[in-house]
Structures are given as structure tokens and as C-alpha cells.
Amino acid sequence: MEKLKKIKEDAQKAIAEAKTSEQLYQVKVQFFGKQGELSLLMKEVGALPKEDRPAFGKEVNIVRAALQQSYDDSESRLKTAELADKLQKESLDLTLPGPHLSLGGTHPIPRVINEIVEILSRIGFSVRSGPLVESDRYNFTALNIPENHPARDMQDTFYIDENHVLRTHTSPVQIHTMENEKPPIRVLAPGSVFRCDSDASHSPNFHQIEALLIDKKVSMSDLKGTISFFIKEFFGSEIKTRFRPSFFPFTEPSAEVDCSCPLCKGEGCRMCGQSGWVEIGGSGLVHPNVLKQAGVDPNEWQGFAFGFGIERMAIIKYGINDIRLFVENDLRFLRQFES
């Protein structure tokens, strides 16, 4: 009973002095855990006279219950304090800015396409599309490109088989549109085109935008007015347009389209090769043979068409010096077009 009393007092004192729930737990282990002093004392019960054993056992249980009670009180007090302390230390500053999520931007090619479509849709043009793999007829024959024309050369054209090519320009969409729709027609066809060519200013896969207008009375002045309007809207009102006589099998007359260099304002710089002018594409009045091939009566209808290089326009507008930048996915390049 002396030993029991001492254990009780020591344990109560230790419980009262424990400063953390961890220290408190160690007190329990030492005094009234499974291997604790109380349990060891119980093992000595056999040394007592038989008649004293129940009373002693009862006393031990009372002490154990009392210690457990003190332990529980102390534990809940310490745990509450520890939790409050933890909450205090780990408190979140909700006013701190969150992690920065960067939004992607539109790639300059679709960006330029969207802008061109927006400008020309204001004067009645709407978008059509055509397949990237074309039969020889749509890419060449129906466009009045004869069998022996250099554009058919294996060196320029990716052939899929004897009769099919990756389209080398967007002009085949002219034929698809005239075959499928009744004039008057005002369509745009932006998209991928392919040519066997690759260096700083040529990519084997690039983009064009085709425009086709078919109506009763269409002249070169309609073509020039439309293109001049478009170029001023796209590059800026100070930009001039120049038409140079040229040749395309599918237009007659034909003209190459230049605009005054937006970078040097026509003064002459590296981008325009010191000429003050940059070329953006081809144009002309739709050749009667092309109208006939597509089932449109050339005696009733006339039209103009033009095809501009998207990469060229982007390069000129943004002063980009290498066409390969468009496909390299270099974020330092792309991020300049984010907003």
C-alpha cells in the first residue's frame, strides 16, 4: 500500500507537470501503461496473504482510474492549447496572391487569318474550305494549268500518287465553290498549302488565303479597289498598294500585289530588300476557261480572284525574320502574340 501511494503521488505530480501531450503520454507509459509501475506492482500481489489480495486489487484499480481521470483532463487541456498554437503558427494569409496561371495566346498564323476574314467579311465575303489532298484536276487542270506547266514539276509538288497531290495553293477551292454554289459568289478560303521548298523564307507547309468574287460585271478596278481597301485595313491606312503585270494560267489579266513596306514606310530596309515594296500574293480576273471548267457561263459571269501568303503577311506585319519561327514552338516567340 505504501508503494501504491507513492506511485499515485509521483504520477499525479508528473501529470500536473507535463508540458506537452507527448510528455504526458510518457507519464502514462511510466506509471500506468501496460509495462508501467502500476502493472509491475500488480505482479507482486502474489506475495500478499490470500485474503488481502482482493482489497489490494481494488485499491490498485481505484488508483488506476484516478490517474486515468487526471490524465484525460490534462490531455484535453494540453491538446486544446497545442491545437490553438498550431492554428496560430500555420495561419494562412488569404490576401497573398495565388499562383500565376498564364493563358495561352492565339498563334500568329490563325491570328492573321482571323483578322483577314474579319476585314473581308465586312464587305460580304464568307469562308469556305477544301481538302488538303486534291486530285490533279482541282489543283491544276480545272485551273487552266496545262499538262506541261512547270508548277506541276515534281520538284515543287508533293505527289500522293499519279493523280493526287497535296494542294500547292488554295485556288482549287475556287473550283469547288463554283461547282457547288450558284453565282453571285463572294468567298474566302484560308488554309494550309504544300510545296517542296524549305529555307529561311520558304516552308514546305505554309498558308494562303484565297478570295473569289463572281458577279455580272467585274473589272480590274473592282479587284484593285477591294485589295487596296483590304491592305489599308490590315497594315494601316498609310500603306499603299501596287499592282505589277504578271501571269497566272487561271487569271487574265493577272497582277502581282505589292504593298509599301510597313517596316520602313517605303524608305527601303532589309525586309523589303531596299526597294520600299513587299510582295504579298497574286491576283487577276478569273480566266474564262476556269469558269467553263467549273460550270459557270463566261458569257454571263465574270470574276476576280486573289491569293495571298499568310506567313508573308504575318512576317511583314510583325517584322519577323525567319519563317521557321512559326513552327518551332519557341515560347519566347509565341509569347509576343499573347494578348
Compare residues 28 and 167 and give the one whose CB is closer to ligand PHE. Answer: 167
Nearest to 319 by CA among 108, 105, 107: 108
Q: Give the nearest distance from C-beta 251 to ligand PHE in angstroms.
A: 5
Compare residues 71 and 206 and give the one whose CB is closer to ligand PHE. Answer: 206
Compare residues 251 and 302 and give the one whose CB is closer to ligand PHE. Answer: 251
* Distance from C-alpha of 67 to C-alpha of 251, rounded to nearest angstrom: 105
Query: Quick one: CA dihedral 229, 235, 241, 242, positive or negative?
Result: negative
Beta strand residue intervals within 100-223, DSSP E: 126-127, 133-135, 159-161, 164-166, 185-194, 205-215
* Distance from C-alpha of 276 to C-alpha of 67, rounded to nearest angstrom: 98
Compare residues 70 and 171 and give the one whose CB is closer to ligand PHE. Answer: 171
Count other C-beta atoms under 10 Å from residue 254's C-beta. 19
Q: Give the nearest distance from C-beta 312 to ligand PHE in angstroms.
A: 11
Q: Give the nearest distance from C-beta 174 to ligand PHE in angstroms.
A: 7
Nearest to 246 by CA among 277, 287, 282, 288: 282
Q: Cell 507537470 maps to which residue?
A: 17
SS3 of residue 134 by DSSP: strand
Q: Give the nearest distance from C-beta 126 to ligand PHE in angstroms.
A: 17
Compare residues 7 and 185 and give the one whose CB is closer to ligand PHE. Answer: 185
Beta strand residue intervals within 101-181, DSSP E: 126-127, 133-135, 159-161, 164-166
* Distance from C-alpha of 177 to C-alpha of 78, rounded to nearest angstrom: 83
Compare residues 8 and 195 and give the one whose CB is closer to ligand PHE. Answer: 195
Q: Give the nearest distance from C-beta 97 to ligand PHE in angstroms.
A: 50
Provide the binding-site residues for ligand PHE, judged by CB under 6 A: 169, 171, 210, 248, 251, 281-284, 305-307
Q: Give the nearest distance from C-beta 193 to ligand PHE in angstroms.
A: 7
